[in-house]
């Protein structure tokens, strides 16, 4: 079995900024921007991120409740077509926790009143997706008797220069987007990630609200970025290895199948040659016994056809 890469570090920079109890004001700003609301009390947010729930080595990024809504936010630099399914798994665990707190209320006749879910992915990878796209779980789960389970995951492009409306409403997100862009730009020029991080921090405008946090936690921020960089490289190596392994296995199986098919064809040919030889000898014998050649051929052909069907 090929081992799946494991992201061991607790946080990514996005989670550090937008899923952190210390910086709830950033989370609230992001929520307000997406939902066109104007809440101003960060304490309205209650985080319920699934710290102990892993999916393929990755933890749920950010989850919180506000205004009777469960908000699940994920950050990605690589698109994943199964995000609706992952989100369904995440929110199911959250609902399970909420129901546990209610005791046996789930067995009552009266319907429970639970907060509804909202699913958003913040994407800053290199694949062009435009400003946004939507994934639906009905693209994954099959329809049963004309009925589909449906849920939507909104994917927002947060690469620098995209979704200006969102960036303008949420300055911390705009600044995060600039910071990632600046690191990539310098790294692409120099090939040195350490230098790129240091220079990006130095180039960051003093007006950025995230700058004091980045400066205070420079070592930790650098480790987060290095961890993600290495993880993404490991993931690429993993998929390349799986692809190569599958190709090699396919070639081996293909060769084996070819050999087996060759053997089968050889047996078929030998059997067919044997049958033809037997038919000729049988016809000759029947003619010697007094049958006409025409009757002998008809009888023998019919007999061999029946025997062949039974084999």
pLDDT (tens digit, 9 = 90+) per residue, 39-93?
A: 999 999 999 877 655 444 456 789 999 999 999 999 998 888 999 999 999 999 8
- Predicted model pTM: 0.70
CA distance 91 to 255: 46
| Structure confidence at residue 253 (pLDDT) | 61
Burial letters 229-241, b for 16+ CB under 10 A, else e: eebeeebeeeeee
For strand 69-76 and strand 116-123, is the pairing parallel, antiparallel, or unpaired?
A: parallel
| Structure confidence at residue 307 (pLDDT) | 45
**pLDDT bucket at 111, cuts 50 / 70 / 90:** confident
Residue % of the chain over a pLDDT of 90: 47
CA distance 219 to 113: 44
Polymer length of the chain: 311
Of 95-104, 245-254, 259-268, highest mean pLDDT: 95-104
């Amino acid at each position: 079995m090929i081992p799946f890469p494991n992201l061991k570090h607790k946080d990514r920079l996005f989670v550090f900024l937008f899923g952190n109890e210390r910086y709830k004001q950033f989370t609230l700003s992001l929520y307000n921007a997406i939902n066109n609301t104007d809440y101003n009390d960060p304490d309205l947010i209650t985080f319920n991120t699934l710290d102990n729930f892993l999916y393929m080595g990755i933890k749920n990024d950010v989850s919180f409740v506000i205004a009777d809504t469960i908000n699940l936010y994920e950050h990605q630099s690589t698109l994943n077509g199964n995000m609706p399914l992952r989100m369904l798994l995440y929110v199911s665990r959250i609902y399970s926790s909420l129901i546990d707190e209610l005791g046996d209320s789930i067995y009552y006749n009266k319907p429970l009143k639970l907060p509804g879910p909202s699913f958003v992915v913040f994407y800053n990878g290199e694949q062009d997706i435009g400003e946004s796209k939507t994934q639906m779980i009905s693209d994954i789960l099959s329809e049963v008797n004309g009925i589909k389970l449906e849920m939507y995951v909104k994917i927002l492009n947060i690469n620098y220069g995209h979704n200006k409306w969102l960036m303008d409403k949420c300055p911390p997100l705009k600044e995060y987007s600039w910071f990632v862009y600046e690191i990539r730009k310098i790294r692409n020029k120099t090939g040195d990630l350490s230098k790129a991080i240091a220079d990006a921090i130095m180039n960051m405008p003093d007006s950025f609200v995230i700058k004091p946090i980045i400066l205070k936690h420079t070592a930790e921020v650098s480790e987060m970025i290095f961890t993600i960089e290495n993880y993404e490289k490991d993931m690429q190596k993993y998929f390349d290895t799986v692809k190569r392994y599958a190709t090699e296995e396919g070639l081996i199986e293909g060769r084996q199948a070819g050999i087996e098919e060759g053997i089968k064809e050889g047996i078929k040919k030998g059997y067919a040659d044997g049958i033809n030889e037997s038919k000729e000898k049988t016809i000759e014998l029947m003619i010697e016994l007094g049958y006409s050649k025409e009757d002998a051929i008809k009888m023998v052909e019919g007999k061999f056809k029946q025997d062949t069907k039974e084999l």
